[in-house]
Amino acid sequence: MRILMMTNTYFPLVGGLEQSVHSFSEEFKSLGHEVLIVTPAFGGAPKEEPGVLRIDAIQKFKGTIFSVNFPVSGLLTRLMKEFVPDMVHSHTPFFMGDFALRLSRQHAIPLVFTYHTMFEQYVHDWPVQNEGVKRFMVKLAAGYANLVDQVIVPSESVQEILLKRGVKTPMEVIPTGVDAQRFSKGDGLAVRKLNQIPPDALVVGHAGRLAPEKNLEFLTNCLVELLKKDPRVHALIVGLGPSQDLIKETFKQAGLENRLHLTGVLRYQDLVDAYYAMDVFAFASLSETQGIVLIEAMAAGLPVVALDAPGAREVVEDYHNGRLLNEMDQKSFVDALIWAFSRTPEELQTIKQIVRMTVQKYPIKSAAKHMLEIYDKIRSRKSISLGKKNSSRYLFQWRMQAEWDIYSNYIKSVLTSVLEGGFQKTEPIKIKDTTVKSSFPQSNGTTESSLKQ
């Protein structure tokens, strides 16, 4: 099968979407399929990228991280003739997503869309930032989902959200998996030495794009409070982004800058080694569709402390493989980190076994095979006679219908966002309101409250 992946962002940007596109593409190729990734040009991208087509784009559009592609219908028409895809897979509902819809309709090829991102949480990256824009993004993405043949969601939480937003297209939950073998060994001591972290220090870690949508102001304040309580603790943060200066300044004002270690972006074995330098992984994002970094951290044997939100609640079980908190409270989050650090060696070994068992539910090979099965079902469901495929009139009509659907979706999204209160607050992604009692034995007969002190 020849699979055309279309995405607004790809490496060298590092995030869950980019990692998902890469992971699935590599697995598809290992199973004998052909994959071509089409994405806008971006500064710092490798000069040689087999299987990747970069198209001309405006770099860092309006000061955002995004590249906005120029109209390239001629290029993509040649691409369709040369690559002749059997499946188009869109990873965005706009820009490249619109091109994916046009190509799908014009050439009578099925279109799959993966809903990777809660787009309304990224308004801070756009030139105009208000509640109306958030509502517009919600409507636009849901409308696009209703124009494709199949929607893929990384978690059941996202599926529930999209159903409430009026998505009628068939949906399938396929989390992005990981290669557990890749994370089975790491040199944490080397990372500690490189970053001047004492071998016996307690290390709380985090990895991901350092940006406001990751709730990093809250997480940073929690880490600072934790470091104030225990002089043995150091913070190791992997990634880059606009929130890096906030993190540095917060630690500096607290006089803790010497115990903050920012590594920048790490890939491949360097990233694995960083996970092995950590003792606990901290995650406070409320904007995830799936927390791939949580699965990676667990694959390295780390307990996770996270907020009960989409992306985390499918992976973390409270007092089982970490802590999952049902309220965004600084004291509770710090106490949960202390709980993780306070486990006895025997309890810690049990947790390591549990987290690695959790990861076994997310093998990338199984996820890729599941995706391929979905592709085959859609192709069977949307079979079009050879006569129609060769009919220029039929395909022209579908191309015109695609243009109408794209522009109608934009107009409808604007109108409904205004008519339904475009400048009122959009409903936030909620932390699940549940109370979980500890099923994990406390060490030496101590109570949980005593461990928090």
What are 244's two structure tokens?
């890096």
In the chain, the largest separation of any two C-alpha atoms, in whole Å, equals 77
pLDDT, position 1: 96
Residues 299 and 186 in one domain: yes
Please state, in angstroms and as integers, the Cα–Cα distance from residue 341 to each residue in 182, 208, 235, following that order. 25, 22, 13
Residues 165 and 205 in one domain: no
Q: Which of 116, 175, 429 is nearest to 296 (CA)?
A: 175
Q: Which of 291, 347, 363 is nearest to 324 (CA)?
A: 291
Other C-beta atoms closer than 10 Å to the C-beta of 281 total 29
Distance of alpha carbon 380 from the chain centroid: 30
- Cα angle 34, 93, 4; round to 5: 10
Residues 150 and 94 in one domain: yes
Residues 229 and 345 in one domain: yes
**273 in a domain, yes or no?**
yes
- Cα angle 225, 227, 229; round to 5: 70
**445 in a domain, yes or no?**
no
Structural domain containing residue 273:
180-362
Residue 4 dihedral angles phi and psi, to the nearest 5° = -105, 115
Among all chains, which residue has been given the structure tokens 């991280």? 65
Residues 244 and 392 in one domain: no
What does the DSSP 8-state code read for residue 50? T
Residues 26 and 160 in one domain: yes
Residues 274 and 312 in one domain: yes
Q: Angle, to 10 degrees, between the axis of helix 392-419 and the axis of helix 96-106?
A: 140
Separation of alpha carbons 37 and 4, rounded Å: 6
**138 in a domain, yes or no?**
yes
155, 290 in Cβ contact below 8 A? yes
Q: Angle, to 10 degrees, between the axis of helix 216-229 and the axis of helix 244-253?
A: 30
Those residues with Cβ within 8 angstroms of residue 433's Cβ, 6 or more apart along the chain or in another chain: 326
**402 in a domain, yes or no?**
yes
Residues 327 and 217 in one domain: yes
User: Can you give the pLDDT of all 453 residues of the chain as single tens digits?
Assistant: 999 999 998 888 778 889 999 999 999 999 999 999 999 888 777 778 899 998 876 655 555 555 555 555 567 777 788 899 999 999 999 889 999 999 898 888 999 999 998 866 655 455 445 677 888 889 999 999 999 999 999 999 899 999 999 999 999 999 999 999 999 999 999 999 999 999 999 999 999 989 998 999 999 999 999 999 999 999 999 999 999 999 999 999 999 999 999 999 998 999 999 999 999 999 999 888 888 999 999 999 999 999 999 889 999 999 999 999 999 999 999 999 999 999 999 999 999 999 999 999 999 999 999 999 999 999 988 766 555 556 777 667 877 888 899 999 999 988 887 777 644 444 454 565 443 334 343 433 333 333 333
Residues 144 and 291 in one domain: no
pLDDT, position 122: 56
Amino acid at 306: A
Residues 336 and 367 in one domain: no
Domains in the chain: how many in total?
2
205, 281 in Cβ contact below 8 A? yes
**447 in a domain, yes or no?**
no
Answer with the one of 337, 362, 387 that is the final residue of a domain. Answer: 362
pLDDT, position 398: 76
Q: What is the CATH number of the domain that holds 256?
A: 3.40.50.2000
**439 in a domain, yes or no?**
no
**440 in a domain, yes or no?**
no
Residues 68 and 117 in one domain: yes
Among all chains, which residue has been given the structure tokens 């120029």? 70
56, 69 in Cβ contact below 8 A? yes
Residues 39 and 136 in one domain: yes
Q: Angle, to 10 degrees, between the axis of helix 96-106 and the axis of helix 73-83?
A: 50
**353 in a domain, yes or no?**
yes
Question: What is the chain's percent helix, strand, coil content, to nearest 5?
Answer: 45, 15, 40
